[in-house]
Amino acid sequence: MDILKADMPYNCYCGTGEAEKFASALIFDGRYKADPATVKIAIVSDRIVSGYYYNAFEKQFIVRGVKPVLIPIDCSEGNKGLSQAETVYNYLVDFGFGNKDWLIALGGGGILDVTGFCASVFEGGINFLAVPTTPDAMYEGAVAKKSFLNSKKLKNAISASFSPVAVIIDPSFLKTVPDKIKHNGYADIIRLGILGNLNILIELVKGGNVREFLNHTYYLRHSVSSVSPKLLNIGNEVASAIEGYFRFMNYSEGEALALSLISCVEDKSREPLSKIYEMLGLPTRLEGVSTKSILKVLSENLTRNGTTELEVVDMSDEEPRRWIVKRVSSEEAIGIMSRRLEVIKSAEEVSLS
């Protein structure tokens, strides 16, 4: 197993075909040396992922005399909330888990969020191992600082620390990921490319060695964050409004963020970026809703805490033009977002304007 250069307080291991043996080795043979006679293992996953991988993943524990508890939850990005967390808690309580036992997330970003949230607060913190299976979970979720849950139409309203003992990335999982879910994971890479180095988008389109690509991604994320972690919030406002309006149904998280990002860039960058979107199967127009309706949700999101000043990631006014964090009034922020929405308004709106 290779250790990726993620610059996190925990190791991110990467090895093709390794997850189904390395997870148990880490728990029982590594620094933790858990006792198979006393330790309990719970694996949180969804129906699709567990259908593909659970039997092979579970076997590594069974051969050591430990029968894991499978905790199945329905955890699409729009469905990660307190009800899913409660399902996990109920299993842990019913099977007598304590904070010396282990909770493993096997799945995409929603599974990592719910499991990470539960691991952080159950009995003050339980041993947590993250095994991402989708591109977005590998690129972004594995190196997040917090786990987020949604509340009704409000995205990421509830949070706790994301503190795994380790992350195990197995590129072989990507072979069975449907194209729509793959596309969902591309948006975070596009954000990094816009902020730091557009060459990473060329790497994304070409494909290649997953380990090397992840190292480049993590390095670029660290470089951007070292300037200001808030830069990584670019596009969140419009994306959250799109997801919230449709109750996380019409557009995936990645599609909503992709739409928001293409609305952020300068005109000269939009055409080449649109070509990349076309190759990756991402939308460039917001369909099925009026700009006015999305702007209403966006305004409610921006002003719901009564804040009169907001921080928005935008291009600097002076040369050389670069991404900066601007502190603006709520009215100015809404104006910036309104202009961005104009860029991605639907074909129907364009024909009427």
Residues 115-172 pLDDT 10s: 999 999 999 999 999 999 998 899 888 888 899 998 876 778 899 999 999 999 999 9
CB 268 within 8 Å of CB 326: no
Task: Give the tens place of pLDDT for each residue, 11-64.
Answer: 999 999 999 999 999 999 988 899 999 999 999 999 889 999 999 999 999 999
Give pLDDT, residue 352: 43
Residue 177 clears pLDDT 70, i.e. is over it: yes
Residue where one domain finishes, among candidates 141, 159, 176: 176
Which is more confident, 154 or 312?
312
CATH of the domain at 314: 1.20.1090.10
If asked whether residues 9 and 140 sit together in one domain, one would say: yes
Residue 351, pLDDT > 50, answer no
- Least confident span in 72-76, 108-112, 325-329, 341-345: 72-76
Q: Does residue 322 sit in the same domain as residue 289?
A: yes
Alpha helices, DSSP H only, in 65-209?
Answer: 82-94, 109-121, 135-139, 179-195, 199-206
Which residues, 6+ apart, have CB-to-CB distance to 48 below 8 Å?
Answer: none
pLDDT of residue 339: 95
Pairing of strands 154-161, 146-151: antiparallel
Q: Where are the beta strands (DSSP E) in the chain?
A: 2-3, 11-14, 41-45, 69-72, 102-107, 127-132, 146-151, 154-161, 166-169, 309-315, 323-329
Whether 232 and 344 share a structural domain: yes
Domains in the chain: how many in total? 2
- CA angle 257/135/128 to nearest 5° reads 105
- pLDDT at 77 (0 to 100): 59
Domain final position from 176, 194, 226: 176
Residue type, 220: L
Q: Dihedral, CA atoms, 88, 90, 92, 95, nearest 10 degrees? A: -140
Residue 228 sits in the same domain as residue 185: yes
Last residue of a domain, one of 133, 158, 176: 176
Q: Per residue in 207-225, pLDDT tens? A: 778 889 999 999 999 999 9
Is the domain of 14 the same as that of 133?
Answer: yes
- Chain-wide mean pLDDT for the chain? 90
One domain for residues 272 and 333: yes
Q: Is residue 283 domain-shared with residue 340, that is, in the same domain?
A: yes
Residue 348: pLDDT band with limits 50, 70, 90: low
153 and 209 assigned to the same domain = no
Domain match, 143 and 196 both: no
Same domain for 164 and 188? no
> Based on the domain organization, do 64 and 101 belong to the same domain?
yes
229-288: pLDDT as tens digits:
999 999 999 999 998 888 767 888 889 999 999 999 999 999 999 999 998 889 999 999
Give residues with Cβ within 8 angstroms of 310, minimum separation 6: 302, 327, 328, 329, 330, 333
Q: Are residues 130 and 229 part of one domain?
A: no
Residue range of the domain that includes 162: 2-176
